[in-house]
């Protein structure tokens, strides 16, 4: 293929990736080292209260933002280096909690609290999504052809639902006197509150993520099962291999590239968990790194946003994703070099 033809096909994609991915990343990285805040001035004024014989006057000192000629607040940007990262990580407070084995004190820091949940959420849902998706794919592949179509359609429904809507649906089933909460209370004979403590909310969030994402893994694995060498499977059956042995020594190695692909997609998506925190309204008990970045961007009482801390939190989230992806990327690279 000529270079001009190659450039004509690849050029637009590279341009859009630079425009919508690389440029925002560079901008966020740069903003994490700078602090933008309004310029304030100290104003002293005398306030007098009306009196019959004489007034009572007091002097008050207050700060107010400086306005420009157009009436807008004047802001200044200063280089703060790694201060925004220190504000997010709070290393001194975190180290004191770790040295004193004070897990509660460590989790009282928003970043470490969010990191704990994000890692737990990602690493628990990853094997469950792969296992449930593979189990559904094997079941559908071995089902009669007459029922495969309806089963595939029903299995894909959770993946089609919008994430926030799906999270709200699960929440409504359990919150307050939801249908499933009432059923559980009737079964165990006692009142329960699924949203009164953090661990029950986490279980519901884990269940929702597996329920929502497993159909994606199912579609990928089901497509891969159609390419399994039937001669190899029949030879294993003749040699007396059990169903488990055929699965472990033939099907799983054949699907391993797809398993790595699903794991990569899930790690990148689950580490940025946000919809579940919003849908389950878990901010009082459970927060994620992505939600923490969003919270930093919310205006305070003065209308200011902690853009620098939000940028630092976003960069730390990206670093975490890269660290989680390194083992899978190294395996993919080794497999690629081995097939050349």
| % of the chain surpassing 70 pLDDT | 97
Domain membership of residue 10 (yes or no) is no
Q: Are strands 56-65 and 40-49 parallel, antiparallel or unpaired?
A: antiparallel
Domain membership of residue 71 (yes or no) is no
Read off the pLDDT of residues 155-176 as tens digits, 9 standing for 90 and up. Answer: 888 888 888 888 888 888 888 7
User: Regarding predicted confidence, which is higher, 321 or 73?
Assistant: 321
pTM for the structure as a whole = 0.84
Segments forming the whole domain that contains residue 225:
103-338
Residue 211 CA to residue 171 CA, distance in Å, equals 13
User: Regarding predicted confidence, which is higher, 207 or 144?
Assistant: 207
Domain membership of residue 244 (yes or no) is yes
Domain membership of residue 49 (yes or no) is no
277 burial type by CB count under 10 A (0-12 exposed, 13-18 middle, 19+ buried): buried
Residue 165 CA to residue 163 CA, distance in Å, equals 5
Alpha-helix runs per DSSP H in 226-306: 230-238, 243-246, 252-270, 275-279, 289-296
Q: Quickly state the pLDDT bin for 1 (edges 50, 70, 90).
A: low
Residue 173 CB-half CA count within 13 A: 14
Q: Is the pLDDT of residue 313 over 90?
A: yes
Mean of per-residue pLDDT scores for the chain: 87
Read off the pLDDT of residues 136-155 as tens digits, 9 standing for 90 and up. Answer: 999 998 888 888 888 888 88
Domain membership of residue 214 (yes or no) is yes
Read off the pLDDT of residues 220-257 as tens digits, 9 standing for 90 and up. Answer: 999 999 998 888 888 988 888 888 898 999 999 999 99
Read off the pLDDT of residues 191-202 as tens digits, 9 standing for 90 and up. Answer: 888 888 888 899
Q: Is the pLDDT of residue 3 over 80?
A: no
User: Regarding predicted confidence, which is higher, 19 or 50?
Assistant: 19
41, 250, 320 from 278: Cα distances, Å? 38, 42, 22
pLDDT value of residue 51: 64
pLDDT value of residue 162: 84
Read off the pLDDT of residues 94-137 as tens digits, 9 standing for 90 and up. Answer: 999 999 888 889 999 999 999 999 999 999 999 999 999 999 99
Domain membership of residue 251 (yes or no) is yes
Beta-carbon contacts of residue 175 (< 8 Å; ≥ 6 apart)? 181, 194, 195
295 burial type by CB count under 10 A (0-12 exposed, 13-18 middle, 19+ buried): middle
Domain membership of residue 42 (yes or no) is no
Please answer whether residues 233 and 249 qualify as being in contact, where contact means their C-beta atoms are separated by less than 8 angstroms: no
Instruction: Give the CATH number for residue 309.
Output: 1.10.3720.10
Q: Quickly state the pLDDT bin for 29 (edges 50, 70, 90).
A: very high
Residue 290 CA to residue 125 CA, distance in Å, equals 17
Q: Which residue has the tokens 């993919």?
A: 332
pLDDT value of residue 53: 64
SS3 75: strand
Q: Quickly state the pLDDT bin for 340 (edges 50, 70, 90).
A: low
Domain count, the chain: 1
Q: Quickly state the pLDDT bin for 52 (edges 50, 70, 90).
A: low
| % of the chain surpassing 90 pLDDT | 41
Domain membership of residue 31 (yes or no) is no
Residue 228 CA to residue 158 CA, distance in Å, equals 27
Q: Is the pLDDT of residue 91 over 80?
A: yes
């Amino acid at each position: 293929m000529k270079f001009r033809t190659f450039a004509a096909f690849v050029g637009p994609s590279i341009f859009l990736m630079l425009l919508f991915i690389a440029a925002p990343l560079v901008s966020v990285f740069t903003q994490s080292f700078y602090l933008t805040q309004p310029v304030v001035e100290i104003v002293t004024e005398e306030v007098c209260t009306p009196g019959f014989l004489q007034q009572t006057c007091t002097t008050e000192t207050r700060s107010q933002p400086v306005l420009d000629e157009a009436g807008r607040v004047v802001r200044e940007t200063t280089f703060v280096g790694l201060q925004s990262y220190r504000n997010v990580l709070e290393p001194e407070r975190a180290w004191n909690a770790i040295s004193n084995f004070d897990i509660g004190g460590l989790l009282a820091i928003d970043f470490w609290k969010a990191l704990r949940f994000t890692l737990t959420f990602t690493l628990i849902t990853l094997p469950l999504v792969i296992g449930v998706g593979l189990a559904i794919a094997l079941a559908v592949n071995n089902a009669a052809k007459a029922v495969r179509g309806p089963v595939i359609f029903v299995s894909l429904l959770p993946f089609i639902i919008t994430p926030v809507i799906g999270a709200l649906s699960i929440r409504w089933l359990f919150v307050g006197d939801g249908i499933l909460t009432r059923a559980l209370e009737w079964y165990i004979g006692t009142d329960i509150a699924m949203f009164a403590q953090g661990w029950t909310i986490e279980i519901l969030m884990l269940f929702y993520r597996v329920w929502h994402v497993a159909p994606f893994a199912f579609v990928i694995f089901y497509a891969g099962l159609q390419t399994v060498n039937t001669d190899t499977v029949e030879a294993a059956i003749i040699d007396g291999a059990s169903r488990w042995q055929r699965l472990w020594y033939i099907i799983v190695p054949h699907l391993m590239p797809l398993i790595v692909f699903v794991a990569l997609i899930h790690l990148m998506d689950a580490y940025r968990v946000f919809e579940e925190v919003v849908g389950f309204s878990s901010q009082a008990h459970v927060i994620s790194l992505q939600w923490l970045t969003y919270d930093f961007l919310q205006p305070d009482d003065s209308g200011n946003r902690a853009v620098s801390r939000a940028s630092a939190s976003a960069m730390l989230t990206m670093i975490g994703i890269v660290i989680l992806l390194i083992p899978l990327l190294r395996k993919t690279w080794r497999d690629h070099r081995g097939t050349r």
